A and B are shown apart, each in its own frame.
Chain A
Amino acid sequence: MTLNENEITLTINGESMRAWAPSRMHAADFLRQRLGYTGTHVGCEQGVCGMCTVMVDGQAVKSCLMLAAQLDGAEVRTVESLAEGENLSALQQSFKRHHGLQCGFCTPGFLMLASSLAARGETMSREQIRDEISGVLCRCTGYEGIVRAVEEYLQLQQPKGSHPQQAEEASR
């Protein structure tokens, strides 16, 4: 059915790619089915659950609400980009340390959302983190481990001494 297919050129996890997708295919299905990035999950196709969250041009987006064609020319990052070879990234390690995942289905969504939060270069209170991550749902953990993991990761991203707590400790 190439009749209604569009050619899409994009950068995904640093790699340039060209692929075809039907006009009506959403971006999450495109990433999964056409490009094989199955770490991005699909949970509601309504933009509510956040399982399909990826980074497009540095922003966290719900890829079920985008058409594949809208990825033309975009730079996309998925969960597959996070680990550094054999090693989990600092963010992934935080999730593991704080038991921020159980069944793991929502995890890629939270990881990509947290990556975009980190890009803002701010630390956040747990309250703020809870608000910021409310666009991705988790039915297993009750969120506590996720909040702790994101908090720790955001702190790690700060230059040494700039976090209020660290600054306080340093001044003692």
Chain B
Amino acid sequence: MNELMEAPTVPQEETRQEEGLKHRLIGTSVPRTEDERLLRGDGRFTDDVQFAHQLEMAVGRCPFPHARILSIDVSRALELEGVKHILTGEQVREQSEPLSVLRPVPGAPQLPYYALAQEKATYEGQPVVSVVATSRALAEDAIELIEIEYEPLPHVSDAIEALKKDAPILHPQSLESNLLASNSDRAGEPEAQIEEAPVVLRGQMRIGRVTPLPMEPRGVVAVWRPGARELSVYSSTQVPHLVRKQLAEALRIGEECIRVSASDVGGGFGQKLGIYPEDVLASLHATALRRPVKWIEDRMEHFRAATHGRESIHDYCLAADAEGRFLAMTNTYTTDIGGWNSSFGSSQLSSVVFTGPYRVADAAVERRVAMTNKTPVGAYRGYGQPEVNFALEVLVDRLARQLDKDPLELREMNMLRPEDLPWTVPSGAVYDSGDYIKTLHMAAESVDYAAHRAKHREPRADGRIVGIGLASFVERTGYASARFLAKRGSKFGAHESLTLRANRSGGIDLYTGVSSIGQSSETAFAQICAEVLGVDFDMVRVHTGDTASSPLNTGSFASRTLIAAAGALREAALAFRDKTLRIGAWALGIAPEEALIEGREVRHRDDAGKRVPLSDVFSRAIIGQGIPHDETPGLETTAHFEPPSAAFSFGTAAAVVAVDPETGEFEVERFVMVHDCGVVVNPMIVEGQVRGALVQGLGAALGEELRYDAVTGQLLSGSMLDYAVPRAADVPPIELLHTEVPSPVTTFGVRGVGEVGTIPPGAAIANALCDALSDYGVEFSALPITPESVWRALNAAKKGEVA
């Protein structure tokens, strides 16, 4: 512990029916309840929602990175048969408010981001006009007939350039420069330490711009019933209740007039957090036309109009003593947020985990958010943590080489020990618990690290040289608390809420505002609920993502769903269990303490002959007949739960890479991931989450990149053909190992697991390449790393430069 503090904890007991009993369902790979419908093609994705008399919307977008809109002439488009309604910026300003931000950059002004561009568009793909017609094809025809006169303006695509004095300013009415805001966190006296330290290493590291790219693009269907004043919105979103709030604000109507329904959602990964212009537009059209309006994003639009992720430049400074003990660390980094502030802005967690798993008391971080003429950046799986992990872990290896130390020993020397935890980092976040070094050792052993270190890096018979790289990490999962979020101006809570409701068939309906995005919450929630209640797993039916039926919750992002929902599930299920036992015991003529829920019935603990089906108990409760006189009818419990603190996952990855020193061609031959997500609820699901995120991390490390032309500012890799998303044949062999240190700050000791795999691939692979090419003195400072960049680094090294 680096300061005197008591770690917040939550009750861990009473989760099992009888003490000493092992968990029945928690920790088992229960097959997923989501699968049945999805395997039959019977999911209900947004485009599967069809209404009679439904119309379709298409959006005309700015083709320039930065342009003034001089005029819009829609007259020819309106003449096209089948065209029903057209909106331009002027009408949108009259009829709606700018899109609100859910997680503002602290200190940033609110920018007037309207659903359609006003005088200016600040990114290629920004909506300028929207058309509703009897079919999507006709709506697109109409857009071709709309004449828009643009005056292209000077643009800036690079975040560092954007912050220079002579850069064109994107939002002069709100900002004096392209710096949206900056914030810093610090502890101790890092500058003084750096001044006096025997070894100081500096490095600038660039992380490329990528896209989350869920397989289902975004989509919305809006249906307005004027008499009822009810807007039903079917949306592909991770946060139905937050979409409801944002839409109410944008449309100037009360939340009570809006119902948002989301499920199934074909992947989110942070991109489907909050509203986009198209959600407002479809709602405005539907309201005006009094007919259902559907908009389904096509993939070309997706690349330009759905938020991007990651892009940032980190200037690190690492100070150490002659042995390699870290004395101080600073990171000044710039994130590129693009042309407008999206719902979740650009990543904020680099500032939380920039010191990694290391014991550094003197550290400072400064985050600068730059506006550029590119698609807005939003949340993407990891939210700043993969970025900072690449920067820091590559520098740790660089320091090891400079000091002629083993990178593993350097990590070992500086890593926080279990007894150091809880540990407060400069941002004020508290690493709760864990055994970081154990994961380092496990990763090293699994790739036979010691034997590899002892050998010289000779080329194999195939001419390639093998290297091993390590990357260790600590990952924030969940949120510290609503109070913590309030300080940052966030417009959402840190809790999850859900309702359990008995039904007369003997089952339990579980209502949650969490939508099904592939994270398997339906299965995990049912597991925990059934575990606490003692009922069979299939007795619990989970209803997801509908604001009309679920209590107001937060949503599925930030690896937070289960962290918060586990507590709500436990509380709701315990209250539900107690009432079930009271009524069941009454029916059996025994005391509640003598009763037990098992499978599909309530029975006497010691006398199996005394039993009553749950359908009977629930029916009694629902109709109020045959229940104790002092019992109220009904059997429904709702719980809201906010964890007292964030839980921090951790681990180490090891990459084994073979590289051809002539061509730069390389192959990841093995990738080992050792991770800890606390108590595992469903091992199969955890494996799936880690593997899936790892492949996204590998994609971003090895090839995915949204490149913009330096001169024209146009997106160059804006289609599936140009953007190198990993295919099955591209994935290297991945091995998973895990430790299980329960978190003291969450119910059941769980930690989040949805994002972790995105974090270490970049650094592990860069370090492996540097290890393999150690005779050449190669360094890497940017992601992605491709055979071309390896070849360039080799050439640079030969000339004595750092690439």
Contacts and interface: CB of A to CB of B under 8 A. Distances in A.
Interface of A: 1, 22, 24-25, 32, 37-46, 48-49, 51, 78-80, 82-83, 88, 92, 95-97, 99, 101-108, 111, 129-131, 133-135, 137-147
Given A83-B40, A139-B267, A141-B692, A104 B299 contact: no
B266 A144 contact: no
Q: Give the interface SS of chain B, mostly helix, strand, loop or mixed.
A: loop
B47 A38 contact: yes
A96 B266 contact: no
B39 interface: yes
B518 A82 contact: no
Contact of A99 (B214, B688, B729): B688
14 contacts: A1-B81, A24-B137, A38-B47, A41-B215, A51-B215, A79-B40, A79-B41, A82-B40, A96-B36, A103-B214, A104-B37, A105-B264, A142-B694, A147-B728
B217 interface: yes
B55 interface: no
Given A48-B720, A142-B731, A106 B215 contact: yes
Given A79-B40, A88-B40, A108-B41, A140 B518 contact: yes
Given A102-B692, A104-B266, A141-B691, A39 B40 contact: yes
B38 A104 contact: yes
Given A41-B216, A96-B31, A137-B215, 12 more contacts: A41-B266, A43-B217, A80-B40, A97-B31, A102-B267, A103-B214, A103-B216, A103-B266, A135-B727, A137-B720, A141-B688, A142-B694
A105 B39 contact: no
Contacts of A99: 32, 684-685, 687-688
B264 A104 contact: yes
A40 B734 CA distance: 30
A103 B518 contact: yes
B36 A88 contact: yes
Interface in B661-690: 684-685, 687-688
Given A40-B41, A99-B32, A49 B728 contact: no
Nearest to A49: B720
A130 B729 contact: yes
A32 B56 CA distance: 15
Contacts of A32: 47
A133 B215 contact: no
A93 to B, nearest CB: 9
B33 to A, nearest CB: 10
Nearest to B216: A105
Nearest to A106: B215
A38 B35 CA distance: 16
B520 interface: yes
Interface in B508-543: 516-520
B216 A43 contact: yes
B298 to A, nearest CB: 6
Contacts of A83: 39-40
Contacts of B45: 41, 105
B269 interface: yes
Given A51-B215, A137-B215, A105 B266 contact: yes
Given A105-B267, A142-B731, A46 B719 contact: yes
Contacts of A140: 215, 267, 518, 688, 692
A70 to B, nearest CB: 17
A88 B31 CA distance: 14
Interface string B206-219: 00000011111100
Contacts of B134: 1
Contact of A88 (B39, B299, B518, B691): B39
Nearest to A40: B41
A140 B215 CA distance: 9
Contacts of A25: 137
Contacts of A42: 47, 296
A96 B734 CA distance: 21
B542 to A, nearest CB: 15
B720 A44 contact: yes
B457 to A, nearest CB: 28
Contacts of B266: 41, 103-105
Contacts of B687: 99
Closest 3 CB pairs of A and B: A39-B41, A104-B38, A103-B518
Contacts of A48: 719-721
Contact of B35 (A41, A78, A79, A95): A95
Nearest to A83: B40
A41 B81 CA distance: 29
A107 B38 contact: yes
B702 to A, nearest CB: 14
A103 B264 contact: yes
Contacts of B728: 129-131, 133-134, 138, 143, 146-147
B42 interface: yes
